[in-house]
């Protein structure tokens, strides 16, 4: 009897061992997220806040009696579109562009002076995406292309604008009272960035991220014609951007 009980126990243990081993493998696999390959594409609006340093332009404004640009972050509004390329898993390419502005104004008697400071940049986009879960991804990459800083200067005496007076003022060699000038700097733009993206639905995704646009190799022109010399090298976009956005497309 004892012999048959021992044989029965051995049979039970032998049959249970593979089940136990299989269960152990399954338990281990439960902790491993299945490797996913991203497919599809998307596009959407990507607003951001630019924590840019405005020291150089503020120094210039202060030197001519103008108020400085406010210290609030610059609001930039732009867009992005991309698609995954299948021969390189989880790599996507596309395009990105954004822009924003600040202004400063002063009024002395009837003479009003305005300075608008505009920043735009964008170009070719490339990201590598790391799937964290079925809905959550981390995307790191860069945009490379071009950027501009455009400074619009205007001075107005506040008087009525008459056709003949405008031409007479233009025809004389006397200093003008009303002035409009456009100073534009063209740059090469490189913008590394890192985003956290969450797919609410298979066709809608929200994101937050940070970037750091770097503008270099500047060329400055006055009114789109004459090159401007001796522009301070520190007059450029410099600082962190914080972005959020809502993307629409296909998300797996």
pLDDT digits (tens, 9 = 90+) for 6-40: 333 333 333 333 333 344 434 444 334 455 789 99
Distance of CA 179 to the CA centre of its chain: 34
Of 36, 47, 41, 38, nearest to 248 by C-alpha is 41
Give the per-residue pLDDT at 21.
39
Which token pair is 128? Answer: 């590598």
pLDDT digits (tens, 9 = 90+) for 192-238: 999 999 999 999 999 999 999 999 999 999 998 999 999 998 898 88
Contacts of 61 (CB under 8 A, 6+ apart): 67, 68, 69, 104, 115
pLDDT digits (tens, 9 = 90+) for 91-140: 999 999 999 999 999 998 888 999 999 999 999 999 999 999 989 999 99
Q: How many residues does the chain have?
A: 252
The whole-number average pLDDT for the span 47-69 is: 94
Could you give the 3-state DSSP secondary structure of residue 16? helix
User: From the CB of residue 59, how many other CB atoms can be counted at a distance below 10 Å?
Assistant: 13
Contacts of 5 (CB under 8 A, 6+ apart): none
- Give yes or no for residue 3 having a pLDDT over 50: no
Q: How confident is the model at residue 178 (pLDDT cuts 50, 70, 90)?
A: confident
Instruction: Go through the domains of the chain in sequence order and give each one's CATH number.
Output: 33-249 (2.40.160.20)
Distance of CA 244 to the CA centre of its chain: 9
Beta bridge partners of 175: none
Backbone phi and psi for residue 9, each to the nearest 5 degrees, phi listed first: -65, -40
The CA-atom distances, in angstroms, between 1 and each of 6, 7, 14, 27 are 9, 10, 20, 38
């Amino acid at each position: 009897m004892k012999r048959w009980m021992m044989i029965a126990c051995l049979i039970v243990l032998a049959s249970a061992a593979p089940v136990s081993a299989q269960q152990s493998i399954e338990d281990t696999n439960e902790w491993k997220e299945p490797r996913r390959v991203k497919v599809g594409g998307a596009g959407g609006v990507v607003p951001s806040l630019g924590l840019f340093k405005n020291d150089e332009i503020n120094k210039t404004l202060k030197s001519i009696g103008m108020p400085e640009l406010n210290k609030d972050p610059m609001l930039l509004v732009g867009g992005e579109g991309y698609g995954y390329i299948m021969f390189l898993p989880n790599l996507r390419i596309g395009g990105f562009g954004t822009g924003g502005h600040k202004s400063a104004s002063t009024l002395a008697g009837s003479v009003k002076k305005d300075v608008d400071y505009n920043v735009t940049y964008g170009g070719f986009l490339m990201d590598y995406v790391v799937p964290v879960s079925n809905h959550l991804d981390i995307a790191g990459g860069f945009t490379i292309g071009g950027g501009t800083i455009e400074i619009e200067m205007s001075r107005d005496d506040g008087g009525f604008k008459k056709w003949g007076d405008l031409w007479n003022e233009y025809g004389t060699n006397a200093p003008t009272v009303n002035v409009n000038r456009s100073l534009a700097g063209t740059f090469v733009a490189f913008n590394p960035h890192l985003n956290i993206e969450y797919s609410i639905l298979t066709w809608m995704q929200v994101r937050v991220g940070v970037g750091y646009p770097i503008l270099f190799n500047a060329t400055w022109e006055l009114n789109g014609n004459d090159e401007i010399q001796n522009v301070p090298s520190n007059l450029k976009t410099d600082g962190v951007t914080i972005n959020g956005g809502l993307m629409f497309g296909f998300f797996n």
